Structure 1
Amino acid sequence: MTEPTPHADPYALFTAWLAEAEAEEPNDPNAMCLATSTPDGFPSARMVLLKGLDPRGFVFFTNHGSRKGEQLFANPRAALNFHWKTLRRVVRVEGEVEQVSAAESDEYYATRPRLSRIGAWASRQSTHLESRAELEAAVAAAEARFPDAEVPRPPHWGGFRVLPRRIEFWRDMPFRLHDRRVFHLQADGGWTSETLYP
């Protein structure tokens, strides 16, 4: 099992842990809890999928008009929580949020199944839905609008990148004497780390 202590780079450690999760977790090893806040400061959390990781941060995609999208535009800060139950590990990420480029959104959108691309046009995510039939009618209308394989990315759909300032790695240990290592981003772009009491 990967030990947290030898790593000076939290991205390298996260990549190693994610690779182990991809080998061991039965479902969605890239699932993460995304926490945002409402305009009046109430926390709001939901599960999303990590779709990209680069030296700047953690990337996911959504409808910009969704509840989480609106909250991120109003307050571009977020927290992520990865919980790999099989491995008994957690990674917590906190940071500011930016939109990914249109080119990045286009590139990922093109990899989605056709019906998922149709769904991005049909769903007015997070708004009131009168019935399942209403959703099915919206899907049918989008399919009629785009009868060919090409389904362009809607202007209201794209990616966000969480730019971490703090990344914590938690590993289960006997008798709740857990292993916790937290990394802090410095002004020069480097990282410092410390071990925390469990």
Structure 2
Amino acid sequence: MSREDAQVNSWTRAVLAVAPLALVLTACSGAEEAAAPAPTVTVTATPAATPEAWAALVKKQSDAYDEMQALWDDGDCTADTATGGDVACQTLLFSMGILGNVASVTFWDATLPEADSYMGEPPAEVADLVQETAGAVDEVSGIGGEVDTACFQGGDCWQATDLENAWSALGDTYTGWDPYM
């Protein structure tokens, strides 16, 4: 489900929750009685989070990314070394997928009004960057979920190469946040 669909579903649930109350109030009012004033429903919009608040969320993820990337680089890891039997590189490759999953869930929670950690709509200044980052972490998460022990039994494992490429693209996306950090 896309973020937009989730938001529409949230509004739909709110309207559906209030609709029966309005019907009951309408049905209970008699023609002989003076019409009671309609109940007032106030919908309070959550204010948009600041660019700095979004940058703080991304900073935590970016720092974890940097630590993982340093281990990957220090171990001279590549998708080929991971699939070639280097256990340390295999572990890091698995960990990249897990880190992508955690970042993806964090972004979803920050953008869904019903989530406890909802931050509000991203301001226009960073809205595209939020979408780009969410897409990049979703990509790492999705491909990371496809990397399994079969990749490390020898043979072709396109998922390892795709994960390495998605991971690199995520790093480029995090770099886009530098002006806000």
User: TM-score scaled to structure 2, two decimals?
Assistant: 0.21
Which structure is larger by alpha-carbon Rg, 1 or 2? 2
More strand by share: 1
User: TM-score scaled to structure 1, two decimals?
Assistant: 0.19
For CA contacts below 8 A with separation 6 or more, give which structure has more relative contact order.
2
